[in-house]
Chain A
Amino acid sequence: MTTLHGFPVRDIPLFAELTGAEWAALEKRLRIRRYREKDVLVREGTPILSGEPALFILLSGQVLVTCRDGGFLRVLHPGETFGLLSLADGAPRAATCLAASRVTVAVMERGALEELRATDERLTCALELGVARQLARDLRTVAALLQASAHRPAREPTPPARTEVESFTRSQRATPELHRPRSADELAELFHRAHHQGRRLVLRGAGLSFDGQSVDDDLALSLEAMDHLAIDPLSGHFTAGPGVTWGEVCTRLAPHGWVMPAAVTTSSATVGGTLSSNSLSRFSPIFGKEGRAVLSIDLLTPDGERRTCTRTESPDLFYAAIGGLGGVGVVVSATYAAHPVPTPTRVRSHVRRHPSIEGLGALLGPSALHGEKTAYGIFSVGEDKVRGLVISSEYCAAERLRPMLPHEPEHRVRVPLEMAVNRWHALSSLFWAFTHDIYMRGADTRPFVDDLLGYTFFMEGHLRAKRAADRLGLPFEVMQQTFVVPEAADLARFLATGLARLRADGIPLALLDVLWLPEDEPFCLSSSRGLAGYAVTFSFEGPFSVPHLRKALEALSKEVLAIGGRTHLGKNVCADPEDLAAMYQSGLTDYAAVKDRVDPHGMLQSRFLRRCFPSLGDTARRRTAA
């Protein structure tokens, strides 16, 4: 019987299929090493250097495998192989291997492996097959663990209770009976009970919606516990439950060289939440809104049916549910196609100062967009002066970081600065004057290079400040409304009208941002369905008079309707319902047809849907009356 330092070779799966001659040639390239208890054989995060062991075969003793994220992972026994991951992909070690007793291992050093690869093609081929097979066996083990964990309850169910919930902007509050389903089966059961009891349901994610999109008084379903996420690192497809946060998605995609084409700017926003509003982002000028990246959704409708919806399979449901404000069903999971980027990924931004709201159509429109470089403008509009920055950004491979302060959400000045700027308008103007006149001087010649997650989730600093203010009982008021303006010629007029109106009403504008939005697919309630244009967002930070502001924004909604545009439904919406019905007419007809079919009793509701589209309840009301 062939042995290696007394251990039967046939019991080492990596070498089990080598012929006698192959084994003889390979054995010469192995070295025996001994370690004492607690010696570190492999250290997590370190690369394989020349002269270091590339792979290990445990011959006697036991080895503990641990990692920083998960603590203790497993125990290795004689005959098992380790170190293969870094050998296969050249990346740093994924875990630390620690001798649990006196240990003897056979190692193949990197140099010996390279020499083998250069001189003996057949033996190399046999060894590579052995390594691939061992990795496949390891994958099978982890797959079994993942399957087993999928069957176990993630946590003890929380009994439903009346709980106060509010919108992100605190403009809407309610005390619904809050349920936290953990699976599609639990959801279906809740739907069944709600239907028989004639209850109304509203869907919630992380509670970040600006208006009353996730607020209502009867039953509320928080989908945060449905947080399964599976990523294919090769094709960049990923399937996420509605409770998965975009922080989790982007953090897991990034090491494999993928990004979400239109990722929202706060990491705690959930997939279900953003999908229900078909969100837009700073990369929307080139990648469109979130819905464009969706390949399929698994939808549970109020009639209890669970359907897979794509552009070709139940397309009416696909186009109604994405951006559908949670009114036609619960997205149990959604599959997206990520966008490939070089790794490690950074974002390079060129910033140009543009102290005017004139000429933005040409600066930000389709003719100004090249390749995968996006562009957007941010403006502070004071009594006497406009301070604006036109920023063009693109993903790039690792370059030396030169972060832009707003893209450092964890920076220690961020929370106090955001809180102060939110509280005092004069400070906000002063901060912008500093940013525009001093910090950004010369920025057009020297690009900023941001960390991917810092750039993507730059609003996280704002969110942290709001949470800090909430904890301290301090006011932190925010409102935002977005309009889609179809023509460049109308853009300057709309901006001028809007700013004049706000000025006349004495409403201070915190920020104005503008970006190009390409025509969307026929998502029923998309603000860019059949309409390309400029997304204009007016941001207000407290203190301000909400009734005055609502009135001003309602007037702007009328203004945008008059020029063929729309009020975007993903943020605050101050608009006359008749104006909204006129803006969304064809999409609303399609949406209502789907809702009447799958939710004839109007079970899925929200204050927002009732306020903005009161006609959607007509069928349910007719049925109730009958």
Chain B
Amino acid sequence: MSSLDGASAALFSSRSPDLAEDDLEILAARFEPVRLVPGETLVEEGRPSDAIWLLGSGSVSVSFRGPNGPVKILDLGRGAWVGEISFLDCGSPSATAVVRAPGMAFRLRRAALSELMESAPRVGSRFLRTLQRDLAARLREWDRQFLRRPRSPERGLFSLLFGARA
């Protein structure tokens, strides 16, 4: 790992433990290091974004718009992805992510991922599997969070999911 310092190498390695050292180097070269300044907005709800961030240090607060102002969801820290949903499905972000504590992150733009998939498809595949695993962890967690919500009998999950189809 020549171009990454120890902490950054450990960060990439922790997220992509299946990648060999050389492959991590290829992957990390597509990410741009970014300083995180408190108050800076990385992703804004409803505003298209073409990047994903891997947090190296500091923290990022995630919230969405509620009827009475922003509703905080949680704070993310080292090792978390920011903006991964809209980065992948190309839709508008469903939440806003603002830097809370200063730190640094690695940013990957969609064009850089395309270039990686073109020039190094094996590394690209491994990286995408890393993302899949992390998305799966988050999805399992959100499923649990949703399932524990108290349900109102007149408006259950079925009608929320399918509306008129229900």
Is B161 part of the binding interface, using a Cβ–Cβ cutoff of 8 Å?
A: yes
- CA gap between A233 and B137 in the complex, in Å: 6
Instruction: From B66, B121, B139, B152, give the contact of A138 (CB < 8 A).
Output: B139
Q: Is the CB of A237 within 8 A of B76?
A: yes
Is B117 part of the binding interface, using a Cβ–Cβ cutoff of 8 Å?
A: yes
Q: Is the CB of A256 within 8 A of B137?
A: yes
Instruction: From A67, A121, A140, A234, give the contact of B125 (CB < 8 A).
Output: A121
- CA gap between A90 and B129 in the complex, in Å: 11
Instruction: From B71, B74, B94, B117, give the contact of A232 (CB < 8 A).
Output: B74
Is A125 part of the binding interface, using a Cβ–Cβ cutoff of 8 Å?
A: yes
Set of chain B residues within 8 Å of A296, measured between Cβ atoms: 59, 75, 100
Q: Is the CB of A128 within 8 A of B72?
A: no
- CA gap between A122 and B15 in the complex, in Å: 22
- CA gap between A117 and B124 in the complex, in Å: 12
Set of chain B residues within 8 Å of A4, measured between Cβ atoms: none
Set of chain A residues within 8 Å of B84, measured between Cβ atoms: 136
Q: Is the CB of B132 within 8 A of A139?
A: no
Instruction: From A136, A151, A337, give the contact of B85 (CB < 8 A).
Output: A136
Is A333 part of the binding interface, using a Cβ–Cβ cutoff of 8 Å?
A: yes
1/0 contact string of A232-254 vs chain B (CB within 8 Å): 11111111000000001000100
Chain B residue at minimum C-beta to C-beta distance from A120: B121
- CA gap between A141 and B138 in the complex, in Å: 13
Q: Is the CB of B160 within 8 A of A234?
A: no
Q: Is the CB of B132 within 8 A of A337?
A: no
A326–chain B nearest beta-carbon distance, Å:
21
Is B140 part of the binding interface, using a Cβ–Cβ cutoff of 8 Å?
A: yes
B103–chain A nearest beta-carbon distance, Å:
12
Is B79 part of the binding interface, using a Cβ–Cβ cutoff of 8 Å?
A: yes
Q: Is the CB of B142 within 8 A of A121?
A: no
Q: Is the CB of B141 within 8 A of A67?
A: no
Q: Is the CB of B76 within 8 A of A149?
A: no
- CA gap between A150 and B71 in the complex, in Å: 9
Is A21 part of the binding interface, using a Cβ–Cβ cutoff of 8 Å?
A: no
A238–chain B nearest beta-carbon distance, Å:
7
Is A94 part of the binding interface, using a Cβ–Cβ cutoff of 8 Å?
A: yes
Set of chain A residues within 8 Å of B94, measured between Cβ atoms: 140, 143-144, 147
Q: Is the CB of B137 within 8 A of A295?
A: no
Is A133 part of the binding interface, using a Cβ–Cβ cutoff of 8 Å?
A: yes
Is B134 part of the binding interface, using a Cβ–Cβ cutoff of 8 Å?
A: yes
- CA gap between A137 and B141 in the complex, in Å: 15
1/0 contact string of A134-178 vs chain B (CB within 8 Å): 011111111111111111101100000000000000000000000
Chain A residue at minimum C-beta to C-beta distance from B134: A234
Set of chain B residues within 8 Å of A126, measured between Cβ atoms: 117
Given contacts A234-B80, A235-B78, A237-B80, contact A132 B132 (CB under 8 A): yes
Set of chain A residues within 8 Å of B155, measured between Cβ atoms: 152
Q: Is the CB of B146 within 8 A of A135?
A: no
Is A89 part of the binding interface, using a Cβ–Cβ cutoff of 8 Å?
A: yes
Q: Is the CB of A121 within 8 A of B121?
A: yes
Set of chain A residues within 8 Å of B59, measured between Cβ atoms: 237, 295-296
Q: Is the CB of A140 within 8 A of B72?
A: no
- CA gap between A131 and B15 in the complex, in Å: 18
Q: Is the CB of B117 within 8 A of A70?
A: no
Given contacts A122-B121, A135-B132, A310-B101, contact A231 B139 (CB under 8 A): no
- CA gap between A492 and B141 in the complex, in Å: 48
Is B47 part of the binding interface, using a Cβ–Cβ cutoff of 8 Å?
A: no
Set of chain A residues within 8 Å of B121, measured between Cβ atoms: 121-122, 124-125
- CA gap between A132 and B128 in the complex, in Å: 7
- CA gap between A139 and B95 in the complex, in Å: 12
Is B136 part of the binding interface, using a Cβ–Cβ cutoff of 8 Å?
A: yes
- CA gap between A295 and B124 in the complex, in Å: 34
Q: Is the CB of B142 within 8 A of A235?
A: no
Q: Is the CB of B128 within 8 A of A128?
A: yes
A526–chain B nearest beta-carbon distance, Å:
22
B159–chain A nearest beta-carbon distance, Å:
11
Q: Is the CB of B74 within 8 A of A237?
A: yes
Set of chain B residues within 8 Å of A70, measured between Cβ atoms: 146-147, 157
Instruction: From B77, B87, B91, B149, give the contact of A237 (CB < 8 A).
Output: B77
Could you tell me which residues of chain A, from 455 to 513, have a CB within 8 Å of some CB in chain B? Answer: none
Q: Is the CB of B80 within 8 A of A232?
A: yes
- CA gap between A85 and B137 in the complex, in Å: 8
Q: Is the CB of A139 within 8 A of B141?
A: no
Set of chain B residues within 8 Å of A196, measured between Cβ atoms: none
Q: Is the CB of A151 within 8 A of B139?
A: no
Set of chain A residues within 8 Å of B87, measured between Cβ atoms: 136
Residue of A67, A117, A140, A151 contacting most chain B CB atoms (<10 Å): A140
- CA gap between A335 and B101 in the complex, in Å: 13
Q: Is the CB of B125 within 8 A of A72?
A: no
Q: Is the CB of B152 within 8 A of A152?
A: yes
Could you tell me which residues of chain A, from 51 to 75, have a CB within 8 Å of some CB in chain B? Answer: 67, 69-70, 72-75
Question: 6 A–B contact pairs at CB < 8 A?
Answer: A87-B132, A88-B135, A89-B132, A125-B124, A142-B143, A295-B59
* Contact surface of A with B, Cβ cutoff 8 Å: 67, 69-70, 72-75, 84-85, 87-91, 94, 117, 121-122, 124-126, 128-129, 131-133, 135-152, 154-155, 185, 229-239, 248, 252, 255-256, 295-296, 298, 308, 310, 312, 333, 335, 337
4 A-B pairs closest in CB distance: A136-B88, A239-B74, A88-B132, A128-B128
